[in-house]
Each structure stands twice: as structure tokens, then as C-alpha cells.
Structure 1
Amino acid sequence: MTPEDWIAHDPDPVTAAELAALDRDELTARFARSLTFGTAGLRGPVRGGPDAMNLAVVLRASWAVTRVLTERGLGGSTVVVGRDARHGSAQFGAAAAEVFAAQGFSVITWEHPVPTPVVAFAVRHTGAAAGVQITASHNPPEDNGYKVYFDGGLQIVLPADREIEAGMTAAPPADQIARLPVRPADDTLVDAYVARAAALRRTTRGKPRVALTAMHGVGGELAVRVLQSAGFDDVHTVTSQFDPDPDFPTVAFPNPEEPGAADALLELAERIGADVAIALDPDADRCAVGIPTSNGWRMLSGNETGWLLGDYILSALPPERTDHSVVASSVVSSQLLAAIAAYHGAHHVQTLTGFKWLARADAGLADRSLVYAYEEAIGHCVDPPAVRDKDGVSAAVVVCDLVASLGAQGDSVTTALDRLALRHGVHTTAAVSRRVASPAAGAAMMTRLRTTPPTELAGYAIKVTEQADALFLTGGDDQTSIRVVVRPSGTEPKVKCYIEVGQVVGSDLAHARRRAAVVQEQLLEVARSW
């Protein structure tokens, strides 16, 4: 479709006028490529053209999903459509629902925003053929996205994503795609999600004081409700970040992992004497955790939270079930979960990056089922039978349950981490994100590393291997292991370097940690220079 044809059939007069006002070079750039499915769906800036998120793209994507479902014999089945509170989300969510309805599908949607895990839950709970969530998760304020679930609430993978992209190319002009108004559902499914997530609590003793931030997203009200339903009713929220706001005014970047993003949360936690701090990202599918230490409050890394939750969940399983249980982590996450699984007698699976792979970690394992999965980017799946995706709200329940359990024993998260280090060795992790001007610039950086990789890092000879889009640099000796994984981001213009150092403890945990920290800093220095 030519730019002129696109503009003539753009159903949104705002984006049509925006495109019509562009000079020829900019217009050509906008039409040089179309949005494609990355790690977590379609994502792009909210603006006109096929390379961005706008009404025309959402209509064409929704039409394409209906074609793929129909070709699979699922025409007329149920589709769940949700949305967050970002710029354009209300319009995009309504449009998607109306396209599905016009094509004869039964549509479940809501008048209000819902967290992404609610959509994943609803697809699985109702047996719907598909789900769509309008969200860009923790991306910058100018972005939005289109996330698709098939197959029991799992994110789509090949060939479905490419089939939908082909359908978008073949779709009618956007203003000719039929739409039919949809009556919103009540909150029965939301209530079912609340009951399920709250039931994840298993400790009956202890009521930790919780500090919580919703990071200007859509998870605040639901998270408080779930925690209270689970019996964690001493919850205090960061008021300035509680209500949804698509501009995310109090944070430079709406991601709890970013430096400074959790400052207001930790200040609240310190002020109220909290036992744990919880930060959700804007669509509430990620959960970051803060803890008090002898040196003040700090945020745990996603890996640290992953180790703790994996160990906690496996420790609660009866022995006869453990051997049939699977825990999973991604290739860019720490290797420690594998050791934790082996200690408990469970099975560990390492997958490609993204929960579309992690959620399928038990596929083909006939007598084993997934009980936990995580990735280092603060994504945790703690209840796979109900939500086969990362879920920040249910993860918050299990985190609070862990803290309550430790507190009832006079214990703490810090000492729990110490026990894991003494049992399995010290593991330290860190990451370097290199922002790039374009996907091509990121590809060029990866090509340089593949063509002339380093032969040694931190004084250790390096072995270089590849898997999918990632480059692995590994080395070490009988006391120290190092691992650096380099890959382009699937959702942002970045190349990411994931660093892990393993160190044998011996008799001195503090010394092992100091040694690992020195090696890690050497690796970080090199990664920043690439």
C-alpha cells in the first residue's frame, strides 16, 4: 500500500493529518518497514504509519488475527481483549474488540483497563481461542503495543506471529474493516483472578508490612485487593504513583529496574518500617522486590528474586511431586536456578529469552509440569496452571508469603540469600544496556563481536558460542566461573550484556563475595567499551 493510499484510508483523522504533513523523506522512512512481532508482540510509538501503533495498524492486526484463527478452524470462538491505560489504549482496545465481533467471534472485554496477567488468566480460565492485550508494558510513555495469546493463554510463537504479519499485509484498507460494538463484560473474571492469586498464600502466620508502587500503571488497585484477600492487609502505597497516568510523570523511565525508578518506594518503605517493598511495572506483569538490610533498603535483582521464589516454591512440594516438577529460566538469566532444582530433585529447563518460551518449558515432558519460571528482567510465573505468563501481582503474593514465613522463624531475606550462597556458591549478576540508534546499529554491534570476539575476559580464556540471536562468552577455573551473554533487545533499541560470576565459597562467604565482585566489575568495564 502506498503512503497516499494509506492516508486516504486512515480511519483516524489525527494520524491521517499527521502523515499528510510530513515531508517526502520522513514519509518514506515511516513506510520503509511495518511493525513485526518481537519478544512480546507488536510495539512502537503512537503515531501514524505502518511502523507505529495507531488505529489503522490495530484494525489490520485484529483482522489478521481473525483470519489466522478462522484458518485454524476456530472461527466464531471466544476472544478476550484487554488494555492498559497508555496513550491510545482505550481507542485501540475498543477497535480490536469490534473487529473480532464483526467477524463473528464472541468477545470478552472490559470498560476499564486491566493488568496484562488478567487477560492471560481469562484466556486460560475460559478456554478462549485467543487474547489480545493493548500494552507496551514498561516502554517509554510514547509507546504502545499489541500482545497476542493463543493456545491456553500462551504468547504466540512461530508460525502464528508470521501468519498474523502476512495477514496484516493482506488486510483490507483500515477504513473498510468491519466493526461491531461490543457490550463490556462484568468483573466476574477479574474476581476469579483475585481469588486464584490470593489462594497462593500458604503461610498462616505473620502479616508483613508492605510498601507498594504501581509505577503509574494499572496494577495498583488490583494488587492491593489481591494482597488484602490473601490476608496481607498492612499495605501502604506510593500515592503519587498509584493512579494510572500514561505520562509516568514521577519517573524518567517506567521500569522498576531502572536506576531511581524505585526511589519513592524505598523512601516509603523506610518511613513506615516496612518488611518488604513491591514495585509493579505499568501493566503489572513484572514485580521488583526491595528488602531492608543492615545498610538500608535495596532492590533485589530479578535473579535474586528468582532464586528465592524458585527455592521457596520447590521446598513446599511433597517429595513425590518434586521429581515431576519443572522450573525454568531463560538463557540470559542466572544459572543458579538449575542448581536449586537439582538440590530439590526437580527438573530445570533453560529456554530462549521471553515468556513465550518460558511458559512452554514443560512442552514435550510427558510426566513433568511447570511449577515456576522466571527471567532476570523481574518477570515471574508463580502459578502456571492459572497464568502461563509473567504475573507481577501473583508474584507479589508469593513474595509476601515468603517474607511472612521467614519472619515467623525469626529469619530474613538476607539470610535466605546467604543460605543459597553457602549451599550453591556465590553468584553475582549484572547487566549493561547499550542504547543504539536503530536495529541496524544493534546488528552492527553484534556482527563486530561475532567477527572479532575477545579471547579473554578478566584474565580467563573465553569460549564463544551462539544460540538464536545471543552470543555467549564463558570461561573460568575450579574456583571462579564467568559468563557474558550479549543479545539485542526484543522490545527496545538496545543491545544488552548479561554478566554472571560464580565463586566457590569455601569457609569465607564474605571473601567469596568480594572476589566475585572484583571479577564482575572487570567484566562490566569491558562490556561498557563494546
Structure 2
Amino acid sequence: MSVPDPQDSQGVSDPQAASDPETSDPQAWIAADPDPRTRAELRALTPDELTERFSHTLHFGTAGLRGPVRAGPSGMNVAVIVRTTVALGRWLIDGGHAGSRVVVGRDARHGSADFADACAEVLAAQGFDVVRLPGTTPTPLIAFCCRDLGASAAVAVTASHNPPADNGYKVFVSGGAQLIPPDDTQIERLIATAAPANTVPRTTVSADDPWAAANTERYLTRLTNRFGRVPRSPVRIALTAMHGVGGALALTALRRAGFTDVEVVPEQFAPDPDFPTVRFPNPEEPGASDRLLALAADVDADLAIALDPDADRCALGARIGGSWRMLTGDETGALLGRHLLAATDLDAPVVAGTIVSGSLLQAVAEATGARYARTLTGFKWLVRAGEPLLYAYEEAIGHCVDPVAVRDKDGISASVVAALLTHERVSAGSDLATALHELFVEHGVHVTTQHSIRVTDLDRIADIMAGLRTHPPTTLAGISVTSVDYATRQDHLNTNAVELSGAANDPETSVRVMVRPSGTEPKLKYYLELVAEPRESDVAATSARLHALAVDVIADLPR
């Protein structure tokens, strides 16, 4: 069976229920479930259904838990939250943080309110000074509060951009960055020894906290202090909150930065846990941003912005070659990175991407004398890439534009930076398409894309990875390639991944494919990058050729 990469796991199921007496005895679990709704749900299951619910538990990964909202140890429910929080509290106490401040916030998904209440109440009963953020809160605001208040930890109850049936439990530690190994495994061991959920003490926590009430204002003030504002910008922005919790804060942040001409996708603006207008509430998914792009075209916008449901990710759309399209995360990363590098006064700033990110930002950094750091996937690694960290991004539309304030991806602050970049361009009679064109002319046309294989049997992923290691392809689309097994690396990039790369001379074109199992879904993921110099500065023709080549490369990949 394929084992998820321990560097990257996040809420995937783990068949280790037998190590935990509570999860190996369904009747004991039912008796100890403090929520009458989930007790009734389990009692109504058939014996086979009950066996399936107790065949595995949610694995506590490097960012916490994520899974379907349902009863039993394999789902997100109050009993699981209570036992997880007891373990988190014990881990903090064992680490010398007894009585310290801990922040708790939530999104608007099914179950989030009850889960956040349970989390806050368990921590309060353990003696922690709990700051319970009121209502719904974008995840980057929770990360900001953790860092700003000097909290020892923060919990965001969210499943980010997962399907509607899911929820999650994301942990930040002192300094506001995500949890990393081996701390996650230590907490998981403590979960396995937690007392029955209905015996865990809980103390009511008020959300009417003076720290919490001022949290949003401090965040917005930081944005203005860091990036400034322009006097009533003429830039017109189209924005969607993707049925999530970031819409209102994004509008306020943009308004304070000088952007008052913002049109929103009305049917996607208010939080809705059912996400009725999208199949998957992820701006990266095909079709998810169609309404945004249509709005941008209708109102003749200069910039389109799509937040994911908890607003930690930000995707940008622009008019390219006369048509609106969403930019890739790598294109956005290079644009924002160049903008921030041009404005910084830091000496030898660090910008960072991951092993699956494209190389365009690296080329930009090298041209400006900045240091480029490459990390494993995930912001838990990106924000620890080096100092002074100026900017970090991942191809999955995550951007950390102000690591001094938020040590994680932040779609709100990224939206403000994107708007300021657009204002700079529009004021000079230019646009984002021209900015991207300039990057390609200077550093070569970079085309990045993905291909995923979703499986029902994880052995299939293991078999493909084993084949790539023992008999890797020697050509892809006619280009000779060599392989590098990242599992054999002796440095910080050691992980379960294989890289295939090569180049052709006529015309000069490089190809790189990174292959790795997903840490959150039953998928094998191929990340492709193709790079070529534009012939006679014909970026459009070169881009079209590389996109066609990418299709041929994908056809040659093991499946």
C-alpha cells in the first residue's frame, strides 16, 4: 500500500485504529460520543457500514486534520475534535506552554461552528488563555493573530478549498507558521491515548474578546503600513469569494489601498457551505472561475481576483491576447515576486518556491541579485526557507507576500499586492498581459501545467512510482530525459518524488516533469514545465508550441 509522504500529509486516512482503544471498539466510541446527532448517526448504520467507519482514522498530518464531516473516527465530528484538542493541549503543556494564549477561529463550512466551540472549550478547560475569534474568519487572519498576539498556537477550523462534504482542523504554532514533523507525530500519539470524548472537561469561552475585536483592524493597518495606498485608483477589479469567508475583508482591504471600483460575483459572495455554483470550490478547478471571467469581460475590468473559500489562496485573471483567462500560479508567482523585488530595500532578500513550482521566479531572482530557495511542497516549508524572507509562493495559487506579518499563504494581502501591481501598469498605459510578456521575453517562455491520476487503489500509485524508479522513461515527446529520485537525496529536499528532465536543441526547449503522490488525496500528480526562448520575440507562437508539446509529454507519461 502506498504511504503518504510524511513531509506533506494532511488529514488523509490512516489504518491504525487498533492502536487506539477508543477507535477499535465502535460501541465504546458511540457511548462516549458527546454529540447526540453523531451518536444517532452511528446507531443507524448497518454492521458493514459501521465496520467501514471504524476501519481507519483521520491521520494527524503536518497541518492537522481534514476529512468528511461524518460520525466515527474516520470523519470530522465533535468527538474527533475534542480528542484531538486534548492532545494538542497536552503537547503544548509538555513543551512548557501551560497557560499560554491560543487562538481559535473558523470558516463557514458544515460543522465549523460546533468544532470551533469544542476546540476553544477544551483548551480553556486545560488552562489556556483562549482567544476565540467571533463569527467566521479567513484563515490568514487566524495566522496573523497567532503571530501578532504572541500565541503559542492557533487552530483554524477549515477545509480550505475541499469539496462541500469536508472539514478540517489546521494548526499553527508559535510564530504563526504551520506545524511540521516531528511535532505532528507526537500529537498523533497523544490522540491515541486521549480519554473518551464525553469525559473531557470543557469550559465555555466568550467570543466577545477585546483582542479578537481588534484583530481585523490590526491586520488591515499592517497591510496599509506595509504596501501603502494609492489615491482612488482607476483600476477596475472583478472579484469572487467562491462562497467563502474572505469577500468582506478583501473588499475592505482593497478599499483601504485605494481600490474602490470592485465588482463582485454576487451569487458567490456570501458564505455558503454547500458551494452551489461550483463543483469544487477551488479557483484552480476547470470552470470554477467562469463566472468571474465573464464578469471581468462584462465590466471591462483590469484585474480578476478569485479567493478560495477560506481566503488563504488567491488566483488572478487577466486579458491575454484579447481574451480573459486565469493565470497559472507560476505566472502569478513570477509577477508578484518581480513586483516585490523591485520595491524592496532588503539586503539579499530571499524568495522561495517548491520542487513542483516553475523556474521563472528563480530566473527573476537571479537577475536581480536576490537569493532563491527551493523547498518541499507546502507553506510549512516555504516560510522557513531562509531570511530575510521577502516572498514565497507555491504553484497551487498560494502566496505569502508579507511574511513579517503572516507566515503562511494569504489571499487577502496577495489581492492587494496584485491590485497595486495592476495600478502601476495601468497608470503607465500598460497591463498585466504586457508585464507577463516582458517576463517571457527576458527569461524565456515558461509553460507549466499539471496532470493527475485519481485512483481507488493506492497500490496503483505505489506501482507507478516503483516503475519510475526502476525503469524510468528515457524520452518524453521525443526529447531525451534523465531521472532523479528525490527519495535518495541526502539534503532537505528528500521526499517521495521523481524528476524527469531533458532538453532539445532544435528548437531549444527544456522539459521537466516532477512526479509525486498527493499528500491529501488519492492521486498521483505530474507537474510539467516547458521552457523556450521566443523566436524573434514571438511569445504567443512559442507559448502555443509549448502547450502542444505538453499534451504530447502527458501522453507519454506512465499511467
TM-score per shorter chain, which class? over 0.9
Does the C-alpha gap of structure 1 residues 483 and 155 become closer, same or farther in structure 2, counting only changes over 3 Å? same
Task: Kindly provide the amino acid, as one letter, of the partner of residue 262 in structure 1.
Answer: S
Q: Deviation at 1:193? A: 1.0
Deviation string 1:274-325 (CA, Å, 9 cap, x unpaired) is 110100000000001011234321110111000100111001123xx242x1
Task: Kindly provide the amino acid, as one letter, of the partner of residue 230 in structure 2.
Answer: T
> Could you say which residue in structure 2 is the equivalent of 1:525?
555
After superposition, the CA RMSD in angstroms is: 1.6
> Could you say which residue in structure 2 is the equivalent of 1:403?
422
Q: Deviation at 1:400? A: 0.2
Q: Residue 504 of structure 1 is aligned with which of 533, 543, 552? A: 533
Q: Residue 358 of structure 2 is aligned with which of 334, 348, 353? A: 334
Q: Deviation at 1:440? A: 4.5
Q: Confirm whether residue 311 of structure 1 aligns to residue 311 of structure 2.
A: no
> Could you say which residue in structure 1 is the equivalent of 2:406?
387
Q: Confirm whether residue 301 of structure 1 aligns to residue 328 of structure 2.
A: yes
Deviation string 1:439-491 (CA, Å, 9 cap, x unpaired) is 45433443343343222111122211222022211111452111111112222
Q: Residue 286 of structure 1 is aligned with which of 295, 304, 313? A: 313
Task: Please give the residue correspondences for 1:74-113 in structure 2 after superposition, counting only pairs within 5 Å.
Answer: 74-113=97-136
Cα distance in 2 between the residues matched to 1:400 and 1:77: 38
Cα distance in 2 between the residues matched to 1:146 and 1:175: 20
Cα distance in 1 between the residues matched to 2:543 and 2:288: 26
> Could you say which residue in structure 2 is the equivalent of 1:133?
156
SS in 2 for 1:231: coil
Task: Please give the residue correspondences for 1:194-213 in structure 2 after superposition, counting only pairs within 5 Å.
Answer: 194-202=220-228, 204=230, 206-213=233-240
> Could you say which residue in structure 2 is the equivalent of 1:30?
53
Task: Kindly provide the amino acid, as one letter, of the partner of residue 551 in structure 2.
Answer: E
Q: How many percent identity over aligned positions?
A: 51
Cα distance in 2 between the residues matched to 1:330 and 1:513: 23
Cα distance in 2 between the residues matched to 1:209 and 1:156: 38
Cα distance in 2 between the residues matched to 1:273 and 1:89: 37
Task: Kindly provide the amino acid, as one letter, of the partner of residue 525 in structure 1.
Answer: A
Q: Which moved more, 1:139-148 or 1:46-55?
A: 46-55
Task: Please give the residue correspondences for 1:214-363 in structure 2 after superposition, counting only pairs within 5 Å.
Answer: 214-318=241-345, 321-323=346-348, 325-362=349-386
Cα distance in 1 between the residues matched to 2:407 and 2:99: 24
Cα distance in 2 between the residues matched to 1:465 and 1:292: 38
> Could you say which residue in structure 2 is the equivalent of 1:480?
509
Deviation string 1:308-347 (CA, Å, 9 cap, x unpaired) is 00111001123xx242x10000111101211111111010
TM-score w.r.t. length of structure 1: 0.95
CA contact (8 A) 1:314 1:322 kept: no
CA contact (8 A) 2:329 2:397 kept: yes
Task: List alignment gaps of at least 5 residues for structure 2.
Answer: 1-20, 487-494
Q: Deviation at 1:417? A: 1.0
Cα distance in 1 between the residues matched to 2:360 and 2:108: 36
TM-score w.r.t. length of structure 2: 0.90
SS in 2 for 1:292: strand
Deviation string 1:110-161 (CA, Å, 9 cap, x unpaired) is 2301000001000000110000000000000000000001130010001110
Q: Which moved more, 1:21-30 or 1:377-386?
A: 21-30
CA contact (8 A) 1:195 1:226 kept: no
Task: Kindly provide the amino acid, as one letter, of the partner of residue 549 in structure 2.
Answer: V
Does the C-alpha gap of structure 1 residues 473 and 269 become closer, same or farther in structure 2, counting only changes over 3 Å? same
Does the C-alpha gap of structure 1 residues 421 and 294 become closer, same or farther in structure 2, counting only changes over 3 Å? closer
> Could you say which residue in structure 2 is the equivalent of 1:492?
521
> Could you say which residue in structure 2 is the equivalent of 1:174?
197
Q: Confirm whether residue 188 of structure 1 aligns to residue 214 of structure 2.
A: yes
Q: Deviation at 1:109? A: 1.0
Cα distance in 2 between the residues matched to 1:52 and 1:444: 28
Task: Please give the residue correspondences for 1:5-84 in structure 2 after superposition, counting only pairs within 5 Å.
Answer: 5-38=28-61, 40-84=63-107
Q: Which moved more, 1:275-284 or 1:35-44?
A: 35-44
Deviation string 1:158-192 (CA, Å, 9 cap, x unpaired) is 11100111111010001111100001124201111
